[in-house]
Each structure stands twice: as C-alpha cells, then as structure tokens.
Amino acid sequence: MNAHLRDDTLIIPSLREQVLLASGASAGEIAAAQAGQGRYFSAPEVDLDQYDHLIVCASGGKDSIACLLRLIEMGADMSRVEHWHHEVDGAGASTLMDWPFMRDYNRKLAEAFNLPLYFSWLEGGLAACRTFPLAGRIAHRSWNLTV
C-alpha cells in the first residue's frame, strides 16, 4: 500500500475518530463522519474578490501547484496572484533542505503562469535557527524577480 493510500484509508479516518471521541461526539456523529469519508478538510469557498493579492506560498511541490491550479479553477484574477518561494536554506547559504534547482524551478513555474515571483529567506537559513533562542533575532530578507 503506498503512503498516500495508507494515509487516506487508515491514518486520517483513525485520527478523525480519535478527535471526535476526544471532543465528546456521540456514536451517531462519529458514524455520520465515517460515512462521509473521502472528503477531508473541506472548507467553504472563499470570495477571492475580497483580496487585493492572492499569494501562493510555493515549495514547488504538488500541494502548492494544486493550490495554484485551484485558484485558476475558481476563476481568480491572475493579475492579483503572486508566487512566493521561501528558501529554507537562506539565499544560497547551503543545500541542507532546498534542492539546488528549486530557485530556477520556481522561476520557470512562475514564468509558465505569467506570475510575479518573490523569494524570502532567513539570514543563514535553517542552519541559523538550530538554537531556538536565536530564532527571533535572525534577520528576514526578501527580494523579487519579476518575470
């Protein structure tokens, strides 16, 4: 069984039941939730017209790409959509977490959808945050690359 199928069929339903039990849900409420399995994390539609900017925080992975595609599907005004990538390792500091190609990958993804691209990072990246008390004193930097 692949990891996603295992999550969808075993882990998430089990967690849902545990949360319902912990919250004092009745047997009927738990049964109703189990009957609705397959619709996880459903949320009401958001009125995108209420926002001046629609920011996609993009790792470049499937979830952030799905978020971008969902905005398109919802009819978002693409002139208000921005593609943001946070460089976990800092600006070229290391490759502890970020793959070396991620900056270029996100640039090409933003180009493909004609989106402005923004990068952000902490000075020194994740390595500088290893000692928690320092985390609040690390400078945050950002810059943009318009495509």
Tell me the pLDDT tens digit for each residue of 124-138.
666 666 654 544 555
Q: Can you give the pLDDT at residue 147?
A: 39
Domain span at 105: 48-145
Q: Can you give the pLDDT at residue 86?
A: 80
- Is residue 61 assigned to a domain? yes
Cα distances from 40 to residues 36, 37, 43, 141, in angstroms, run 9, 7, 9, 35
pLDDT at 108 exceeding the cut of 90: yes
**71, 108: one domain:** yes
Overall average pLDDT of the 74-95 stretch = 82
**23, 82: one domain:** no
- Is residue 10 assigned to a domain? yes
Place of tokens 């629609």: 54
Angle of helix 27-35 versus helix 12-22 axis, rounded to 10: 160
Q: Can you give the pLDDT at residue 114?
A: 94
Length of the chain: 147
- Is residue 74 assigned to a domain? yes
Buried b (16+ CB within 10 A) or exposed e, 8-38: eeeeebeebeeebeeeeeeeeeeeeeeeeee
